[in-house]
A and B are shown apart, each in its own frame.
Chain A
């Protein structure tokens, strides 16, 4: 290494900080001739299969069944007789390593081309198995088997969820990737297990020799090679504390969902992928209170068809089998408008395209027969927007021979609150979208960073939430769910409880923390708090009141 301090800036996509020796996961295979034959290839596949099988078993013993299942697929792929045979034949080539790599790649390509998303995603697993086999062949002394030292930071051009899951509990303390964003599966996994992950780092980080001291600070979005002793000490103290905190929060999984004064509450997750469903159920969520269906179509050039919806929904709904799941119809509004629509888009554009609406509803109704399905209409502004949706839901239910699922409204506009009593007469349930409601009430642009979660504590927002809860209860609807960041925020959560909310749907990474808080809040005390908060002048004053009255000791 040169004496120059190396410091790079990227995007922290999973919070936390860690420092350890680096380990590059996707080291290129060496050029030049390696003398290997079919026997070495067969042995390498067998070793990789055994290694992944053991990794899966380790995950299972630690109670991470979802992670174990994901890794186990890799073990089965490494044991696939067709794959192994074709790689063994490739070993006879003049340049055996690239030939083996090509053989593996041809299997990945076949899966890639499948229309079913859950199956096409397995192509990445095939490539990962191939990478491990090639590393074994290229470094027969086992130098590439595992990172040196008992703690390491993983570096790669692309990081898949399995790259992380693989090494959980095996010394992985942080990860750095050149590509990838906050919505990648790797980022979701990293957040849910508390692993700091920084993406968008300059590719020169890939050239660091293994075991270079590397500090990953995902909170600051920075990566530092050969950090100073002071930086190391500070990071280590913080990460040890964080690890302990997460462990104590997770220890309450499985405890009853009741508040300190015995009020039962519902705890659900907001999800958009099968991976999130797995992690949510593992964290003890009952199901999903909000399935976001538009995220895969934000770059679409036309309305998604029924096959498109089936492709994205099938893995998610299969994963949620037997659980309550509320699927929200396409919400192409605010900061989520694809190129083929012009603002304000939203629900009116969907209702104006009955074919598009029908395509999505048919896919949901048919694929949702294995879950406790509910269908939610986003951004409702008027009760008469519900009937056309219900008519299509009923028709689809007849077609597929299933009972019609409940149809509800996401209340997240002032107009919907204004008409809430009439709305409650035409729906089977309501949910509150706290983020959009807060933005509209306080006239904040949704993508304005000032639209912070704590502003949901503004008395004007609180009074609207209270009104919706009262109307829903008066109409005899099932307990409503708040789907938004307010449901997991220390200031707003007690206020929601005080407003009569008994069910929240939160980000997967917030489930443990939200359960911890709810189990320690007293609903009666929160009721008084809520009533008093309504008389105050602004969100800041309310936050001060909450801080004064409510104390939940966090680990």
Chain B
């Protein structure tokens, strides 16, 4: 989706896995690396800023949930890609 007039980039992803602590943590780290950029997630009636791992987990987004992400600020396009990657990546395998 092209950037809108205010520079916001919006994407919609359907979660292939629940939004548990691990992806929530990856999002918080990503947000921490891009302090000037705001990453907002919306799932149904719940909203969260990606910098807060608790707010993201509190959305209770499970597999199949449609999540709308809105990124504003520097590198919005690239950051939005990374957010979408985190939300749609398969769980990492241990060991």
Contact with A along B42-86 (1 / 0, CB 8 A): 000000000111110110101100000000000000000000000
Which range contains the number of B residues in contact with the other chain?
20 to 34
A119:B94 contact, CB within 8 angstroms: no
Residues of A within 8 A of B62 (CB): 116, 310, 314
Which A residue's beta carbon lies closest to that of B48?
A82
How far is the CB of A80 from the nearest CB of chain B, in Å? 5
How far is the CB of B8 from the nearest CB of chain A, in Å? 21
Q: Does B12 contact A (CB under 8 A)?
A: no
A119:B52 contact, CB within 8 angstroms: no
Q: Whole-angstrom distance between the alpha carbons of A452 and B51 in the complex? A: 53
B21:A314 contact, CB within 8 angstroms: no
A77:B17 contact, CB within 8 angstroms: no
Q: Whole-angstrom distance between the alpha carbons of A69 and B26 in the complex? A: 12
**Residues of A bordering B, CB below 8 Å:** 65-66, 69, 72-73, 76-77, 79-83, 107, 110-111, 114-116, 118-119, 122, 125-126, 278, 281-282, 284, 310, 314-315, 318-319, 321-323, 366-367, 370
A80:B52 contact, CB within 8 angstroms: yes
Q: Which residue of B21, B25, B92 is within 8 Å of A118 (Cβ)?
A: B21
How far is the CB of A509 from the nearest CB of chain B, in Å? 16
B60:A119 contact, CB within 8 angstroms: yes
Which B residue's beta carbon lies closest to that of A110?
B58
How far is the CB of B6 from the nearest CB of chain A, in Å? 23
Q: Which residue of B18, B52, B54, B57 is within 8 Å of A318 (Cβ)?
A: B18
What are 22 pairs between A and B in contact, CB < 8 Å?
A: A73-B22, A76-B21, A76-B53, A77-B53, A77-B54, A79-B53, A80-B28, A80-B52, A81-B52, A111-B57, A118-B21, A119-B60, A281-B94, A282-B94, A314-B18, A314-B63, A318-B17, A318-B18, A322-B90, A322-B93, A370-B17, A370-B90
Q: Does B36 contact A (CB under 8 A)?
A: no
Residues of A within 8 A of B55 (CB): 80, 82
B91:A318 contact, CB within 8 angstroms: yes
Known contacts A65-B95, A115-B60, A281-B94; A82 and B25 CB within 8 A of each other: no
How far is the CB of B90 from the nearest CB of chain A, in Å? 6
